[in-house]
A and B are shown apart, each in its own frame.
Chain A
Amino acid sequence: MEDIRFTPGLLPPEAEALRAEVRAFIADHLKGYSGVKRAKSWSGADPEFSKAMGAKGWIGMTWPKEYGGGGRSFLERYVVLEEMLAAGAPVSAHWVADRQSGPLLLKFGTEDQRRKYIPAITRGESYFCIGMSEPNSGSDLASIRTRAEKTADGWRINGQKIWTSKAHTAHHMIALVRTQPQDPKDRHAGLSQFLIDMKNTKGITIRPIRNMAGEQMFNEVFFEDAEVPADALVGTDGGGWGQVTTELAFERSGPERYLSSYQLLFELVREIGADAGPAEAAGIGRLAAHLSTLRQMSISIATMLESGETPNLAAAIVKELGVAYEQDMPGRAHDIAGISPRVGAGGFDQVMAYMTMAARSFSLRGGTREIMRGIIARGLGLR
């Protein structure tokens, strides 16, 4: 059984100084943003906003300066992220590139790939999507069947991806595909990652999937003899699984794992008001207690990342707890306020309605709750 500890961390003064700047920026750019628009949190997109963030140096903040990165600390990045999320800023256009694809390319990409792709990401002009899930393989990525075959001057890709967030707006996809036949003895072998130009590659069809909240966030993506150049391979041929695991670690530990529902708490506090009864106060108090303790745990992970550690187990725990918290939020709001929201009304009603539906996806994205618990169980020595 691993010793699971979250050493309390404090954000340094330079990070707090940055916070004031971020708040002023948000106040300026998000004037007049409705509650329900803010509730979309990291699913909301606005290319102009992404460019403005890029101009501020707030994308790729921790990346080396030679590729256009900011060379700043994980704790400074943390502050920018949490302020954006708490305000419901429309960060989704550049979000995946900033959180996952950029770090992946910096770690596994070639020097040419870094020089070609990273600067545009940091300017907020280049968006990425992640091609992992397939119709018959959700969390079980080892079973994916989309394949890339070597050609004279590159690779030919055939197959299908699904649940690909933002495939319809992304400039590039980093796809996990099979380059060697499945090996029953090592299910994770023979997978590779490719950087695919989504706007200029023939043989790619994107079909939107409308979700139950009425949005088009994810898509099906079909590859039919899609030809990509030889330098589209990211990292090593057959080394995709190890690379993906690293990538997922970036995805799991951030403040997005407990702030997705923040707007609902905000509206709930406003709705209930200062003359609340004891039960309402206790309900709000429980939610606030969780928020502040989850934030402390998440900051603790940022502190560990800053000191060069890779806290994979701790990250899985924060995702497990954070997802449960934000997914429970509509239920707790129902306990406290008890309404059937009218969806045209705006304010609390509309945010409540949106979040009630949207929250269903929270324990699915980025590895299901059961996968996270499997990782924790391994840390406990049960597997």
Chain B
Amino acid sequence: MTGTSEMANILAETAGRLLQDHVTRDVLGAAEDGAWPQDLWQVLEDNGLTQPLAPEDRGGMGASFADAFVIAFAAGRRRAPVPLVETMAAGWLLGRAGIDVPPGPLALIDGGADLDFSGGALSGIAPGAPWAAQAGHLVAEVGGTVLLIPADAATIIPDRNMAGEPRDTVTFDKVKPSVTGALDLTASVPVARTLGALMRAAQMAGAMEGAISLAVQHAGDREQFGRPIAKFQAIQQMLARAAARAAQARSAAETAFLALDRAGGDLTDAEWDVAAAKVVAGEAAEIVYDAAHQTHGAIGFTYEHELHFTTRRLWAWRGEFGAETFWAQDIGRRVLARGADNLWPDLTARQRG
């Protein structure tokens, strides 16, 4: 069961505590101004949280996706301004392709069909690459080959998402990777995109829980018309609706992590759960950030307040590694191709023990 194994409990406790202690308001603000939070990264790496998914003989912890969910959830909950989930996902890709995982932050390149790897060299442009300029290595997958690329071999133009997180444009001009490995997987969507969407879904679920928690706290503290606004039914109804959607996002994300563990050599089926998780997370985010900001009133609109560090990430993450439309189309095309008569049988075939 997800999140109830001993490993998951340890990881949840460790990640939750370290991130709570080290992701302070100051660290968030400084990271947004372009400072690399080395102390934060170091403490995560020293505690083994950055490579849970790579095999032990490749430099990782050999944990399951189900166990690693709690790290990604905590990373979103605490808004860790480092490429923790990208490094986790890239580490899994490298391990799966039999490549030793280098220490330090890794950038997961969602190049999709725009990258060309031929004659031993990589070419193409990957826009919006998370933390490429801060990462020592870039990890990409093209047509079943996993590539480990020293970051200084590519041209990187820094850019940022709405939350001020690095999202750079990476240009490869016949770049030779330092190592390559074959990925023993079949999939219908580029694997890096699926992994990125999986991680974002978990982060978003965590961030939503964080936003609701802040709003509940504020509603209890803030008095209007002589009583805490938590006592107003309008506030209760709005936050209850948001909390239900956040719970759905969390459930969907956990299910998707579990699906990755069960996938074996074919990701096609697990992509459905990742897609569903990204779709419901994106839709839920809209309801959650609306409710959280409405509850906070004007104070939540200030830079001084911490709410926006969470809600701006929700806006940004919604669109990364495939927005809802991309993944909804993916599911919709599958459903329509299989036809109405197969819809229910296909659905029930998904959660078999």
A residues near B (Cβ < 8 Å) are 1, 4-13, 15-16, 19, 82, 86, 262, 265-267, 269-270, 272-274, 276, 278, 280-286, 288-297, 299-300, 314, 317, 320-321, 370, 372-377, 379-383
In the complex, per-residue mask of B1-43: 1 if CB is within 8 Å of any chain A CB, else 0: 1111000000000000000000000000000000000000000
CA distance A269 to B339 in the complex (A): 7
Q: Could you say which residues of chain B place their CB within 8 Å of the CB of A290?
A: 276, 279-280
Residue in A267, A272, A321, A383 whose CB lies within 8 Å of B236: A383
CA distance A294 to B343 in the complex (A): 15
State which size class the interface on B falls in.
35 or more
- 29 pairs, A vs B, C-beta closer than 8 Å: A10-B353, A13-B353, A82-B348, A266-B343, A269-B336, A270-B339, A278-B329, A280-B332, A281-B328, A281-B329, A281-B336, A282-B329, A285-B329, A286-B279, A286-B331, A288-B347, A289-B276, A289-B279, A289-B331, A295-B347, A296-B252, A320-B241, A370-B233, A373-B240, A379-B243, A380-B240, A382-B219, A382-B231, A383-B236
- B344 within 8 Å of A by Cβ? yes
Contact (A382, B344) CB under 8 Å given A6-B247, A293-B248, A376-B244:
no
Q: Could you say which residues of chain A place their CB within 8 Å of the CB of B329?
A: 278, 281-282, 285
A377 touches B236 (CB 8 A): yes
Contact (A293, B236) CB under 8 Å given A8-B251, A269-B343, A382-B216:
no
Residue in B4, B213, B244 whose CB lies within 8 Å of A1: B213
| CB proximity of A27 to chain B, nearest CB, Å | 12
Select the residue from B324, B333, B337 with max chain A CB neighbours within 10 A: B333
B244 touches A321 (CB 8 A): yes
| CB proximity of A196 to chain B, nearest CB, Å | 35
CA distance A381 to B221 in the complex (A): 12
| CB proximity of B294 to chain A, nearest CB, Å | 14
A7 touches B254 (CB 8 A): yes
- B230 within 8 Å of A by Cβ? yes
A296 touches B236 (CB 8 A): no
A373 touches B280 (CB 8 A): no
B251 touches A300 (CB 8 A): yes
Q: Could you say which residues of chain B place their CB within 8 Å of the CB of A288?
A: 276, 331-332, 335, 343, 347
Q: Could you say which residues of chain B place their CB within 8 Å of the CB of A317?
A: 243-244, 247-248
- CB-CB contacts below 8 Å: B315-335 with A: 324-325, 327-333, 335
Q: Could you say which residues of chain A place their CB within 8 Å of the CB of B4?
A: 7
| CB proximity of A263 to chain B, nearest CB, Å | 10
Residue in A5, A19, A285, A380 whose CB lies within 8 Å of B212: A380
B240 touches A269 (CB 8 A): no
Contact (A296, B351) CB under 8 Å given A376-B244, A377-B239:
yes
CA distance A365 to B137 in the complex (A): 57
- B237 within 8 Å of A by Cβ? yes
B residues near A (Cβ < 8 Å) are 1-4, 212-213, 216, 219-220, 230-231, 233, 235-237, 239-241, 243-248, 250-252, 254-255, 258, 272-273, 275-277, 279-280, 283, 324-325, 327-333, 335-337, 339-340, 343-344, 347-348, 350-353
Q: Could you say which residues of chain A place their CB within 8 Å of the CB of B219?
A: 382
Looking across the interface, which residue of chain A has its beta carbon closest to that of B245?
Answer: A321
Contact (A270, B340) CB under 8 Å given A5-B3, A6-B250, A380-B212:
yes
Residue in B2, B239, B324 whose CB lies within 8 Å of A7: B2
Q: Could you say which residues of chain B place their CB within 8 Å of the CB of A282?
A: 324-325, 328-329, 332
CA distance A376 to B236 in the complex (A): 9
B252 touches A285 (CB 8 A): no
CA distance A142 to B176 in the complex (A): 74
A297 touches B251 (CB 8 A): yes
A292 touches B350 (CB 8 A): yes
CA distance A4 to B244 in the complex (A): 9
CA distance A249 to B233 in the complex (A): 23
Residue in B2, B220, B239, B335 whose CB lies within 8 Å of A269: B335
Q: Could you say which residues of chain B place their CB within 8 Å of the CB of A265?
A: 343
Residue in B212, B248, B332 whose CB lies within 8 Å of A283: B332
| CB proximity of B227 to chain A, nearest CB, Å | 12
Residue in B239, B273, B276, B279 whose CB lies within 8 Å of A380: B239
Q: Could you say which residues of chain B place their CB within 8 Å of the CB of A289?
A: 252, 275-276, 279-280, 327-328, 331
CA distance A32 to B22 in the complex (A): 64
CA distance A372 to B247 in the complex (A): 15
| CB proximity of B47 to chain A, nearest CB, Å | 23
B240 touches A376 (CB 8 A): yes
Q: Could you say which residues of chain A place their CB within 8 Å of the CB of B331?
A: 284-286, 288-289
A11 touches B353 (CB 8 A): yes
A382 touches B235 (CB 8 A): yes
Q: Could you say which residues of chain A place their CB within 8 Å of the CB of B330?
A: 285
Residue in A285, A376, A379 whose CB lies within 8 Å of B328: A285
Contact (A266, B340) CB under 8 Å given A7-B2, A293-B252, A376-B244:
yes
A8 touches B340 (CB 8 A): no
Q: Could you say which residues of chain B place their CB within 8 Å of the CB of A270?
A: 339-340
Q: Could you say which residues of chain B place their CB within 8 Å of the CB of A276?
A: 332-333, 336
